[in-house]
Amino acid sequence: MSSYDYLFPAMASEGQLSSPELLTSNFSSLGIVIRAKDVPALDRLGELVASCHNLRTLKVSCIGRITRPIRRNGQVEPFRRPPRGHPWNCQSNECGETLPGLLELELSSFCICGDVDGASYENLPWQQLRRVKFTCPSFLTRFAGQMTHLCALELHLDLRSPDIESFCMDPSCSPSTEDIGQCLRTFTGLKELHLVNGTHLLDETLIAQVGPTVRSISAHQQEQRTTTERIILSKEMLFTIAAMCPNLRSLSVDMLDKSVLVGA
């Protein structure tokens, strides 16, 4: 086994990631589901990514969250767990050199909300990314200004419901709706915009910004056990999307009877 085009195991362990065949492979796409508390496996993941110089796509989903940096004894530590070894924990230009061709990045259950500077992620090649997916909006507010070539954005927001577990460690420290909306409006060349629990962000101002280029829009609100109400787009907003998005080819939105309308 000398190379793979794609790898996505059901759950990665240290033993799997330590395989000599994997470490000598040259993936172009790598998808990993991994336990956030499995520090040895995360260390091995860092080694694996560092060996994949042709990596174009990196998708990492954590079971249990990778928590945000914290301050201890006056110094910022990158993560509560793991403290080292993952591919984006860089203190120099190491990441840029390791991932020179990265075009697509997905980080699920990673959180940098709170009083942190995001330094551990600074050296990822944000400027060249074409597609991203985040479950923490702080990645968007922190790095939106650097993602100048972004074509596709998928953002999963917390519903802040007792029925559904939060993506972020401390939702009270998450960016405000206004800040998230302002960041979304900085993207002028988006072709795909996918929002989960973010239907309220699709206002006329955002549609006017992405409308000339966008080809696919989806907006979905998670269902809750305690209520049948969900935020949906009004007919007026749907007409606005139709009028302002001449290149739109795909539109996926929720339609319910008992709902809160946006853009009425």
At residue 9, does pLDDT exceed 60?
A: no
Mean pLDDT of all residues belonging to the chain:
77
Is residue 114 left, alpha or beta, with left meaning phi > 0 and alpha meaning psi from -120 to 50?
Answer: left
Q: What is the largest CA-CA distance in the chain?
A: 58
Determine the residue type at 127. Answer: Q
Determine the residue type at 28. Answer: S
Considering Cα of 185, then 143, then 67, then 132, what sign does the dihedral take?
positive
Distance CA 221, CA 259 (A): 11
Mean pLDDT confidence for 55-77: 67
User: What are phi and psi for residue 196, nearest 5 degrees?
Assistant: -115, 125
At residue 234, does pLDDT exceed 50?
A: yes
Mean pLDDT confidence for 70-99: 47
Distance CA 183, CA 201 (A): 11
Show the 3-state SS of the chain.
CCCCCCCCCCCECHHHHCCHHHHCCCCCEEEEEEECCCHHHHHHHHHHHHHCCCCCEEEEEEEEEECCCEEECCEEECCCCCCCCCCCCCCCCHHHHHCCCCCEEEEEEECCCCCCCCHHHCCCCHHHCCEEEECCHHHHHHHHHHCCCCCEEEEECCCCCCCCCCCCCCHHHCCCHHHHHHHHCCCCCCCEEEEECCHHHCCHHHHHHHCCCCCEEEEECCCCCCCCCEEEECHHHHHHHHHHCCCCCEEEECCCCCEEEECC
Mean pLDDT confidence for 61-65: 78
Locate tokens 């080819």: which residue? 249
pTM for the structure as a whole: 0.80
Share of the chain above pLDDT 70, in %: 65
**124-141 residue pLDDT tens:** 889 999 999 999 898 999
Cα 203-208-214 angle, rounded to 5 deg: 100
At residue 59, does pLDDT exceed 60?
A: yes
Spatial contact of 60 and 32, defined as CB atoms under 8 Å apart: yes
Share of the chain above pLDDT 90, in %: 38
Per-residue confidence (pLDDT) for residue 79, from 0 to 100: 41
User: Which has the minimum average pLDDT: 155-159, 186-190, 197-201?
Assistant: 155-159
